[in-house]
Amino acid sequence: MASACPGSPLPDPRGDYQFAEILDEEFARYIEVAKGIMIKLKHPKDKEICGRFIKQTLALDAPSIEVKTNRNEFFKYFLKTLRTTYETQPAAYDNWFRPRADRAGKEEVFWSPDGRTYVAAKTIANVGTLIYIACAKSPEFGWQNCGFDNYEF
């Protein structure tokens, strides 16, 4: 195979191989960055979606440099989207109820910032979590005073 221009060198097949290796290494680093951001996501659905995209992209067969290049370009865009998602997580995600083993049998109570919504949660060991949610025009009605304290589980 002759080159198009007289005197120009023939394409080096090793160059394609080296470029493919660079693209694969770049992709592996993108995956590590994505996993690091995914751990910091607070909303379970966001984590699920992120994990699914990582899994699907890892399963992608990338036999050529063109496919590898497009894969990496997509993943760069995905990382920008993921970073934006992480940086703009609502503060409300911090207040999600997360049952803890050391709290089994103990009631946890949460109020909305406006004082109109009351949530009580009680973890029942080896069974699940019982959650009571109520809304009212005013917290002065007193319905929140009983909660689950009167019940044995």
Q: What is the DSSP string of 106-132?
A: -EEEEE-TTS-EEEEEEEETTTEEEEE
Q: What is the pLDDT of residues 51-89, one digit of tens each?
A: 999 999 999 888 889 999 999 999 999 999 999 999 988
Give the tens place of pLDDT for each residue, 2-36: 444 455 444 445 567 888 899 999 999 999 999 99
Most confidently modeled of 41-45, 113-117, 122-126, 142-146? 41-45
* CA 121 distance to own-chain centroid: 25
- Nearest partner of 41 among 108, 106, 89, judged by Cα: 89
* Distance from C-alpha of 120 to C-alpha of 3, rounded to nearest angstrom: 76
Sequence-ordered alpha helix ranges (H) in the chain:
13-40, 44-59, 65-87
For the whole model, what pTM was predicted?
0.53
The span from the CA of 60 to the CA of 62, in Å, is 6
What is d(CA 97, CA 108) in angstroms, rounded to the nearest whole number? 9
pLDDT value at residue 12: 47
